[in-house]
Chain A
Amino acid sequence: MAKSKKAKISEPVSIVAHQLKNPISVLYGYLEVLISEEIGKLNDKQKEYLIDALKNVEMMSKTVKDILDVSKIEEGEYKIKPRPADLAKITQKIVSDLSSWAKASNCEIIFDKSKGLPQVYVDPAKIGYVIESLISNAITYKSSGPGKIKVKIEKKGNKLMFSCRDNGIGIPSKDFQKVFSKFYRSEDALSLYPAGTGLGLYISKAIVELNKGKIWFEKNEGKGMTFYFTLPIA
């Protein structure tokens, strides 16, 4: 996207994002009641449309949250609450939560973790955001054939290293410098999933660094990308 890397989320944008929270909650609540059929039975088409509407409200909610997070990161107000945490357990939960979506998208997620991994000293909720972003990206940006995502956690010295390897559409090498920039979307990504905001990797980088880790990626030989991050052992 032709946006300056240095352009900040402006105050009016943050205010608008805040103001969208109530309407989002209202829409979410009404849709939840309708879909649960507690006030009346729906036909299949009605239910399908309402579930689609709900997914879009969830997307809106995520965008608002991401915009506010970016704004906080830029102002130095983004806080983490580190404590000893089990990275494999956090990852396992996210893999389970994403598995039905992955399956519906013809994607297989394989989670391979070494035994007896030590705990890391991180903010578990925020690190969960990073893991979810990386795996979600791998599902969203899959190639036309069956998708294969390998998630791995291993010990490297005094750190744990997380990796997420996919066989998806990949990132063009001309864009490598921009991957962790705000609003970055490759042309292929834009055509495959226009609704993405390009904020997930920017926020993920900030989170990993606030947790004293490092995040990077490599282009795979063959297809796809592998994203890595490391975190300090507790």
Chain B
Amino acid sequence: MAQKNNKAKILMIEDNIFLRKLYRDKLTRAGFEFIEATNGVEGMNKLVSEEPDLVILDLILPRKNGFDVLSEMKDNPKTKKIPAIILTNLGQEMDIKEGLALGAKEYLVKTEVRLSEVVDKVKKWLPK
């Protein structure tokens, strides 16, 4: 998983173009390599092919929702150890429980978390 350029690789699976741009710029400035997917199917493919060091995952996604992506990645030996941070608009207790039960390291609600806090969480959960 170590990258040629020694930068940790972050995959963001998010269908909102502006959020992707915001996180692409922020995480690149913070020294990470940033790759992205706009739907759940593309996200799952990139998890397998790119083997990122960490994934930031939305839940409401086209083609395959984030819960299914998480569940599938945890069942795949190639991707099961990749730490996942959920970043979503769903803030209901049952969604949080389900996300964490499926193995997410963090469950963050978009309107309640600052950009800089998300970067801190990324740093916290990157494999040392």
A28, A29, A38, A81 pick with most chain B CB within 10 angstroms: A29
Q: A64 at interface (Cβ–Cβ under 8 A)? A: yes
CA A29 – CA B12 in complex, angstroms? 16
| Complex contacts, B16 vs chain A, CB 8 Å | 22, 26
| Complex contacts, B3 vs chain A, CB 8 Å | none
Q: A32 at interface (Cβ–Cβ under 8 A)? A: yes
Q: Is the CB of B19 within 8 A of A25?
A: yes
Given the known A-B contacts A30-B22, A33-B22, A81-B93, are A21 and B110 also in contact in the complex, defined by CB atoms under 8 Å? Answer: yes
**What DSSP secondary structure best describes chain B's contact surface?**
helix
Q: A65 at interface (Cβ–Cβ under 8 A)? A: yes
Q: Is the CB of A26 within 8 A of B89?
A: no
Q: A79 at interface (Cβ–Cβ under 8 A)? A: yes
| Complex contacts, A33 vs chain B, CB 8 Å | 22, 25-26, 115
Q: B49 at interface (Cβ–Cβ under 8 A)? A: no
CA A214 – CA B47 in complex, angstroms? 51
Q: A61 at interface (Cβ–Cβ under 8 A)? A: yes
Contact of A61 among B22, B29, B111, B115 (CB under 8 A): B111
CA A69 – CA B19 in complex, angstroms? 25
CA A39 – CA B22 in complex, angstroms? 12
Q: A195 at interface (Cβ–Cβ under 8 A)? A: no
CA A21 – CA B29 in complex, angstroms? 25
| Complex contacts, A36 vs chain B, CB 8 Å | 116
Q: Is the CB of B110 within 8 A of A38?
A: no
Q: A83 at interface (Cβ–Cβ under 8 A)? A: no
| Complex contacts, A25 vs chain B, CB 8 Å | 19, 89, 110-111
| Complex contacts, B116 vs chain A, CB 8 Å | 32, 36
Interface magnitude class on chain B: 10 to 19
| Complex contacts, B93 vs chain A, CB 8 Å | 79, 81
Q: A24 at interface (Cβ–Cβ under 8 A)? A: yes
Interface magnitude class on chain A: 20 to 34
Given the known A-B contacts A22-B19, A33-B22, A38-B29, are A28 and B89 also in contact in the complex, defined by CB atoms under 8 Å? Answer: no
Q: A18 at interface (Cβ–Cβ under 8 A)? A: yes
A22, A28, A33, A36 pick with most chain B CB within 10 angstroms: A22
| Complex contacts, A21 vs chain B, CB 8 Å | 89, 110-111
Q: Which A87-116 residues have C-beta < 8 A from chain B?
A: none
Q: Which B45-60 residues have C-beta < 8 A from chain A?
A: none
Interface string of A33-63 (1 = CB under 8 A from B): 1001011000000000000000000000100
CA A25 – CA B15 in complex, angstroms? 13
Q: B114 at interface (Cβ–Cβ under 8 A)? A: yes
Considering the complex, give the chain A residue whose CB is closest to the CB of B109: A21
CA A118 – CA B115 in complex, angstroms? 38
CA A61 – CA B115 in complex, angstroms? 15
CA A64 – CA B89 in complex, angstroms? 12
| Complex contacts, A64 vs chain B, CB 8 Å | 111
Interface string of A1-36 (1 = CB under 8 A from B): 000000000000000001001111110111011001
CA A26 – CA B29 in complex, angstroms? 18
CA A38 – CA B29 in complex, angstroms? 9
Pairs across A and B, CB under 8 Å, 19 listed: A21-B89, A21-B110, A21-B111, A22-B18, A22-B19, A22-B89, A22-B110, A24-B111, A25-B89, A25-B111, A28-B111, A28-B114, A29-B19, A29-B22, A29-B23, A32-B115, A38-B29, A39-B25, A65-B111
Query: Closest 5 CB pairs between A and B?
Result: A25-B110, A26-B18, A21-B89, A29-B22, A29-B115
